[in-house]
Amino acid sequence: MKFLIKISLALFGLFFLLLLYLSLKGMAAFTLSENEPGSRPEYSYAFFLPALDYPFFDNLKKGALDGAADLNCVITFYQIDANPLSLRMVPYSGADGIALYPSADKGITPAIIDELTQTEIPLLFLEHNLSHSASFFIGTNSFEVGKKIGELVQTRETPSRTCALIFSEKSPGLLADRSLVEMGFRQIMGDKLPDKLLFETTDRNPLDAEGLVYRLRLENPDLDTLIFTDPNDTLAAVQVLVDRNLVGQVEVIGFGDDDAIVDYVSKGVIRGTVVRDPYRIGYQAVEILKGISERGNASAFVDIGTRLISKVNMEMYGEATGEE
Protein backbone atom coordinates (compact mmCIF):
# COMPACT_ATOMS: atom_id res chain seq x y z
CA MET A 1 0.00 0.00 0.00
CA LYS A 2 2.82 2.43 0.92
CA PHE A 3 4.57 1.53 -2.33
CA LEU A 4 1.47 2.47 -4.33
CA ILE A 5 1.21 5.77 -2.43
CA LYS A 6 4.85 6.58 -3.21
CA ILE A 7 4.33 5.75 -6.89
CA SER A 8 1.21 7.93 -6.98
CA LEU A 9 3.05 10.84 -5.36
CA ALA A 10 5.93 10.50 -7.81
CA LEU A 11 3.57 10.45 -10.78
CA PHE A 12 1.69 13.41 -9.40
CA GLY A 13 4.98 15.30 -8.98
CA LEU A 14 6.00 14.56 -12.56
CA PHE A 15 2.57 15.62 -13.78
CA PHE A 16 2.81 18.84 -11.77
CA LEU A 17 6.24 19.64 -13.25
CA LEU A 18 4.85 18.99 -16.72
CA LEU A 19 2.00 21.42 -16.08
CA LEU A 20 4.44 24.03 -14.83
CA TYR A 21 6.59 23.58 -17.92
CA LEU A 22 3.58 23.95 -20.22
CA SER A 23 2.44 26.98 -18.22
CA LEU A 24 5.87 28.53 -18.67
CA LYS A 25 5.65 28.08 -22.41
CA GLY A 26 2.07 29.29 -22.53
CA MET A 27 2.75 32.47 -20.56
CA ALA A 28 5.61 33.50 -22.80
CA ALA A 29 5.10 36.09 -25.50
CA PHE A 30 7.22 34.03 -27.87
CA THR A 31 8.83 35.92 -30.73
CA LEU A 32 11.18 34.39 -33.28
CA SER A 33 13.58 36.69 -35.11
CA GLU A 34 13.43 36.77 -38.89
CA ASN A 35 16.39 34.73 -40.11
CA GLU A 36 17.64 33.67 -43.51
CA PRO A 37 15.51 30.94 -45.14
CA GLY A 38 16.67 27.59 -43.84
CA SER A 39 18.76 29.07 -41.00
CA ARG A 40 18.19 28.02 -37.42
CA PRO A 41 18.55 30.29 -34.38
CA GLU A 42 21.79 29.58 -32.53
CA TYR A 43 20.63 30.50 -29.03
CA SER A 44 17.47 31.15 -27.03
CA TYR A 45 17.21 33.77 -24.29
CA ALA A 46 14.49 34.50 -21.71
CA PHE A 47 13.73 38.14 -20.85
CA PHE A 48 11.83 38.82 -17.62
CA LEU A 49 10.29 42.30 -17.43
CA PRO A 50 7.70 43.95 -15.16
CA ALA A 51 4.11 43.95 -16.40
CA LEU A 52 4.27 47.67 -17.16
CA ASP A 53 3.01 48.97 -20.51
CA TYR A 54 5.29 52.00 -20.81
CA PRO A 55 7.43 53.30 -23.70
CA PHE A 56 10.61 52.45 -21.79
CA PHE A 57 9.83 48.72 -21.75
CA ASP A 58 8.37 48.79 -25.26
CA ASN A 59 11.63 50.25 -26.57
CA LEU A 60 13.70 47.80 -24.54
CA LYS A 61 11.76 44.92 -26.11
CA LYS A 62 12.21 46.38 -29.58
CA GLY A 63 15.95 46.65 -29.05
CA ALA A 64 16.11 43.04 -27.85
CA LEU A 65 14.09 41.78 -30.82
CA ASP A 66 16.23 43.70 -33.30
CA GLY A 67 19.33 42.33 -31.61
CA ALA A 68 17.92 38.80 -31.83
CA ALA A 69 17.16 39.26 -35.52
CA ASP A 70 20.66 40.57 -36.26
CA LEU A 71 22.44 37.94 -34.15
CA ASN A 72 20.29 34.93 -35.13
CA CYS A 73 18.79 34.30 -31.68
CA VAL A 74 15.36 33.67 -30.18
CA ILE A 75 13.88 35.92 -27.49
CA THR A 76 11.08 34.89 -25.14
CA PHE A 77 9.44 37.54 -22.94
CA TYR A 78 7.84 36.84 -19.56
CA GLN A 79 5.92 39.16 -17.23
CA ILE A 80 7.58 38.45 -13.90
CA ASP A 81 4.76 40.15 -11.95
CA ALA A 82 2.08 37.96 -13.52
CA ASN A 83 3.95 34.65 -13.39
CA PRO A 84 6.77 34.72 -10.80
CA LEU A 85 7.05 30.92 -10.82
CA SER A 86 8.23 31.05 -14.42
CA LEU A 87 11.61 32.41 -13.28
CA ARG A 88 12.32 29.27 -11.27
CA MET A 89 11.40 27.11 -14.25
CA VAL A 90 13.93 28.67 -16.65
CA PRO A 91 16.53 25.93 -16.07
CA TYR A 92 13.98 23.45 -17.47
CA SER A 93 12.97 25.57 -20.48
CA GLY A 94 16.13 25.16 -22.55
CA ALA A 95 17.05 28.87 -22.39
CA ASP A 96 20.72 29.68 -22.95
CA GLY A 97 20.59 32.86 -20.87
CA ILE A 98 18.38 35.07 -18.71
CA ALA A 99 17.90 38.85 -18.84
CA LEU A 100 16.09 40.01 -15.70
CA TYR A 101 14.71 43.45 -14.83
CA PRO A 102 14.34 43.24 -11.03
CA SER A 103 11.35 45.07 -9.61
CA ALA A 104 9.64 45.30 -6.25
CA ASP A 105 7.86 42.03 -7.00
CA LYS A 106 8.12 39.62 -4.07
CA GLY A 107 8.65 36.71 -6.47
CA ILE A 108 12.25 37.78 -7.06
CA THR A 109 13.95 36.68 -3.85
CA PRO A 110 17.65 36.24 -3.03
CA ALA A 111 17.01 32.50 -2.77
CA ILE A 112 15.73 32.35 -6.36
CA ILE A 113 18.67 34.43 -7.61
CA ASP A 114 21.04 32.05 -5.82
CA GLU A 115 19.32 29.06 -7.42
CA LEU A 116 19.69 30.57 -10.88
CA THR A 117 23.34 31.55 -10.46
CA GLN A 118 24.18 28.02 -9.32
CA THR A 119 23.09 26.72 -12.72
CA GLU A 120 25.15 27.09 -15.89
CA ILE A 121 22.68 29.61 -17.32
CA PRO A 122 24.15 33.15 -17.38
CA LEU A 123 22.09 35.81 -15.60
CA LEU A 124 22.08 39.40 -16.86
CA PHE A 125 20.45 42.15 -14.80
CA LEU A 126 18.80 45.01 -16.69
CA GLU A 127 18.95 48.51 -15.13
CA HIS A 128 18.96 47.47 -11.46
CA ASN A 129 22.02 45.55 -10.33
CA LEU A 130 21.49 43.19 -7.39
CA SER A 131 25.28 42.90 -7.09
CA HIS A 132 25.50 39.13 -7.24
CA SER A 133 29.04 37.96 -7.90
CA ALA A 134 27.90 35.43 -10.50
CA SER A 135 25.79 37.85 -12.56
CA PHE A 136 26.23 40.53 -15.23
CA PHE A 137 24.70 44.00 -15.58
CA ILE A 138 23.69 46.36 -18.37
CA GLY A 139 21.79 49.60 -17.96
CA THR A 140 22.06 53.05 -16.48
CA ASN A 141 24.35 53.88 -13.59
CA SER A 142 21.90 55.26 -11.02
CA PHE A 143 24.64 57.26 -9.29
CA GLU A 144 25.30 59.04 -12.59
CA VAL A 145 21.56 59.70 -13.01
CA GLY A 146 21.64 61.54 -9.68
CA LYS A 147 24.61 63.60 -10.85
CA LYS A 148 22.81 64.52 -14.09
CA ILE A 149 19.80 65.67 -12.09
CA GLY A 150 22.09 67.79 -9.93
CA GLU A 151 23.61 69.40 -13.03
CA LEU A 152 20.17 70.56 -14.12
CA VAL A 153 19.24 71.88 -10.67
CA GLN A 154 22.47 73.88 -10.59
CA THR A 155 21.42 75.76 -13.75
CA ARG A 156 18.64 77.53 -11.85
CA GLU A 157 18.98 81.31 -11.83
CA THR A 158 18.49 81.29 -8.07
CA PRO A 159 19.50 78.45 -5.71
CA SER A 160 16.74 75.98 -4.87
CA ARG A 161 15.40 76.36 -1.32
CA THR A 162 12.90 73.49 -1.17
CA CYS A 163 13.30 70.61 -3.58
CA ALA A 164 11.34 67.34 -3.93
CA LEU A 165 12.98 64.28 -5.47
CA ILE A 166 10.19 61.95 -6.59
CA PHE A 167 10.70 58.27 -7.37
CA SER A 168 8.04 55.99 -8.83
CA GLU A 169 6.91 52.38 -8.96
CA LYS A 170 6.57 53.04 -12.70
CA SER A 171 10.39 53.18 -12.85
CA PRO A 172 11.23 50.22 -10.58
CA GLY A 173 14.95 50.17 -11.36
CA LEU A 174 15.55 53.72 -10.17
CA LEU A 175 13.19 53.22 -7.25
CA ALA A 176 15.27 50.27 -6.08
CA ASP A 177 18.47 52.31 -6.54
CA ARG A 178 17.11 55.52 -5.02
CA SER A 179 19.94 55.69 -2.47
CA LEU A 180 22.47 55.77 -5.33
CA VAL A 181 20.48 58.48 -7.12
CA GLU A 182 20.45 60.56 -3.95
CA MET A 183 24.19 60.06 -3.42
CA GLY A 184 24.96 61.22 -6.95
CA PHE A 185 22.70 64.24 -6.52
CA ARG A 186 24.28 65.22 -3.22
CA GLN A 187 27.79 64.84 -4.59
CA ILE A 188 27.27 67.12 -7.59
CA MET A 189 25.34 69.71 -5.54
CA GLY A 190 27.98 69.91 -2.81
CA ASP A 191 27.41 72.94 -0.58
CA LYS A 192 24.63 74.14 -2.90
CA LEU A 193 22.12 71.58 -1.64
CA PRO A 194 18.59 72.98 -1.09
CA ASP A 195 17.72 73.96 2.47
CA LYS A 196 14.96 71.35 2.42
CA LEU A 197 15.20 68.11 0.39
CA LEU A 198 12.03 66.02 0.27
CA PHE A 199 11.72 62.42 -0.94
CA GLU A 200 8.45 61.02 -2.27
CA THR A 201 7.25 57.97 -4.21
CA THR A 202 4.34 57.62 -6.63
CA ASP A 203 2.54 54.38 -7.40
CA ARG A 204 1.70 52.86 -10.78
CA ASN A 205 -1.29 55.13 -11.29
CA PRO A 206 -0.37 57.51 -14.15
CA LEU A 207 -2.18 60.34 -12.35
CA ASP A 208 -0.72 59.77 -8.89
CA ALA A 209 1.79 62.57 -9.44
CA GLU A 210 -1.05 65.10 -9.81
CA GLY A 211 -2.31 64.56 -6.28
CA LEU A 212 1.25 64.50 -4.97
CA VAL A 213 2.05 67.92 -6.46
CA TYR A 214 -1.10 69.43 -4.93
CA ARG A 215 -0.18 67.99 -1.51
CA LEU A 216 3.47 69.03 -1.66
CA ARG A 217 2.57 72.57 -2.66
CA LEU A 218 0.01 72.81 0.14
CA GLU A 219 2.41 71.49 2.79
CA ASN A 220 5.41 73.40 1.44
CA PRO A 221 4.41 76.83 0.05
CA ASP A 222 8.10 77.57 -0.61
CA LEU A 223 8.51 74.50 -2.86
CA ASP A 224 10.47 75.67 -5.91
CA THR A 225 11.86 72.51 -7.57
CA LEU A 226 10.26 69.19 -8.53
CA ILE A 227 12.47 66.35 -9.75
CA PHE A 228 10.93 63.31 -11.41
CA THR A 229 12.31 59.90 -12.38
CA ASP A 230 9.44 58.83 -14.62
CA PRO A 231 8.01 60.35 -17.85
CA ASN A 232 4.37 59.83 -16.84
CA ASP A 233 4.88 61.64 -13.54
CA THR A 234 6.69 64.45 -15.34
CA LEU A 235 3.77 65.11 -17.69
CA ALA A 236 1.12 64.77 -14.99
CA ALA A 237 2.92 67.25 -12.73
CA VAL A 238 3.48 69.80 -15.50
CA GLN A 239 -0.23 69.77 -16.24
CA VAL A 240 -0.94 70.71 -12.62
CA LEU A 241 1.54 73.59 -12.76
CA VAL A 242 0.05 74.85 -16.02
CA ASP A 243 -3.51 74.63 -14.68
CA ARG A 244 -2.59 76.51 -11.50
CA ASN A 245 -0.39 79.12 -13.20
CA LEU A 246 2.66 77.97 -11.26
CA VAL A 247 5.00 77.68 -14.24
CA GLY A 248 8.08 79.71 -13.34
CA GLN A 249 7.36 79.55 -9.63
CA VAL A 250 8.01 75.81 -9.43
CA GLU A 251 10.65 74.46 -11.79
CA VAL A 252 10.55 70.89 -13.08
CA ILE A 253 13.40 68.52 -13.79
CA GLY A 254 11.84 65.87 -16.00
CA PHE A 255 12.67 62.35 -17.06
CA GLY A 256 12.52 60.81 -20.53
CA ASP A 257 12.44 62.15 -24.08
CA ASP A 258 8.74 61.81 -24.91
CA ASP A 259 7.72 64.32 -27.58
CA ALA A 260 5.55 66.23 -25.10
CA ILE A 261 8.41 66.47 -22.59
CA VAL A 262 10.88 67.72 -25.20
CA ASP A 263 8.30 70.27 -26.35
CA TYR A 264 7.88 71.52 -22.77
CA VAL A 265 11.66 71.85 -22.49
CA SER A 266 11.82 73.92 -25.69
CA LYS A 267 9.13 76.24 -24.27
CA GLY A 268 10.89 76.61 -20.92
CA VAL A 269 8.09 74.90 -18.97
CA ILE A 270 10.54 72.12 -17.98
CA ARG A 271 14.10 73.18 -17.13
CA GLY A 272 15.57 69.97 -18.53
CA THR A 273 15.12 66.23 -18.70
CA VAL A 274 17.31 63.17 -18.07
CA VAL A 275 17.20 60.60 -20.86
CA ARG A 276 18.07 56.90 -20.88
CA ASP A 277 18.33 54.62 -23.95
CA PRO A 278 16.18 51.52 -23.40
CA TYR A 279 16.50 50.40 -27.04
CA ARG A 280 20.26 50.19 -26.67
CA ILE A 281 19.90 48.35 -23.36
CA GLY A 282 17.74 45.69 -25.02
CA TYR A 283 19.96 45.35 -28.10
CA GLN A 284 23.24 45.14 -26.20
CA ALA A 285 21.70 42.72 -23.69
CA VAL A 286 21.37 40.21 -26.53
CA GLU A 287 24.95 40.94 -27.62
CA ILE A 288 26.22 40.29 -24.09
CA LEU A 289 24.26 37.06 -23.68
CA LYS A 290 25.44 35.74 -27.04
CA GLY A 291 29.00 36.70 -26.17
CA ILE A 292 28.73 34.64 -22.99
CA SER A 293 27.22 31.72 -24.93
CA GLU A 294 30.05 31.76 -27.46
CA ARG A 295 33.08 32.80 -25.39
CA GLY A 296 32.00 32.02 -21.84
CA ASN A 297 32.59 35.56 -20.61
CA ALA A 298 31.59 39.22 -21.00
CA SER A 299 32.04 42.55 -19.26
CA ALA A 300 30.44 42.28 -15.83
CA PHE A 301 29.15 45.88 -15.86
CA VAL A 302 28.05 47.81 -18.95
CA ASP A 303 26.83 51.38 -18.39
CA ILE A 304 24.72 52.67 -21.28
CA GLY A 305 24.93 56.19 -19.92
CA THR A 306 22.46 59.07 -19.85
CA ARG A 307 22.16 62.44 -21.56
CA LEU A 308 20.51 65.74 -20.76
CA ILE A 309 18.10 67.75 -22.84
CA SER A 310 17.74 71.39 -21.84
CA LYS A 311 16.71 74.55 -23.63
CA VAL A 312 20.39 75.42 -23.93
CA ASN A 313 21.24 72.30 -25.94
CA MET A 314 17.92 71.97 -27.81
CA GLU A 315 19.49 73.03 -31.10
CA MET A 316 22.17 70.37 -30.76
CA TYR A 317 19.52 67.80 -29.79
CA GLY A 318 17.45 68.71 -32.84
CA GLU A 319 20.42 68.17 -35.14
CA ALA A 320 21.18 64.82 -33.52
CA THR A 321 17.64 63.53 -33.96
CA GLY A 322 16.96 65.02 -37.36
CA GLU A 323 14.31 67.42 -36.01
CA GLU A 324 13.72 70.78 -37.63
Residues 89 and 62 sit within 8 Å (Cβ to Cβ): no
Measuring CA to CA, which residue among 59, 31, 63 is closest to residue 44? 31
Rounded CA separation 96/272 (Å): 41
What pLDDT score was predicted for residue 14? 53
- Give CA–CA dist 233/256, Å, rounded: 10
Q: Report whether pLDDT(251) > 50.
A: yes
Can you give the pLDDT at residue 83? 61
In 3D, which of 174, 238, 232 has the Cα closest to residue 207? 232
Q: What is the pLDDT of residues 223-244, one digit of tens each?
A: 999 999 999 999 999 999 999 9
**In angstroms, rounded to a whole number, what is the distance separating the alpha carbons of residues 323 and 48?**
34
Domains and CATH numbers, the chain: 27-139+278-304 (3.40.50.2300), 142-275 (3.40.50.2300)
Burial of 320 (0-12, 13-18, 19+ CB in 10 A): exposed
pLDDT bracket for residue 323 (50, 70, 90) = very low
Nearest to 316 by CA among 307, 254, 147, 156: 307
> Mean of the pLDDT values across residues 131-150?
86
DSSP H helical ranges for the chain: 2-27, 55-71, 85-88, 110-117, 142-154, 172-176, 178-189, 208-219, 231-243, 259-266, 278-295, 314-321
Residue 88: HSE in the Cβ half-sphere, 13 Å Cα cutoff: 11
pLDDT of residue 221: 94
At 149-186, the pLDDT tens digits run 999 999 888 999 999 999 999 888 899 889 999 999 99
pLDDT digits (tens, 9 = 90+) for 89-131: 777 778 899 998 876 555 566 677 777 777 788 889 998 766 5
Above 50 in pLDDT, residue 24?
A: no
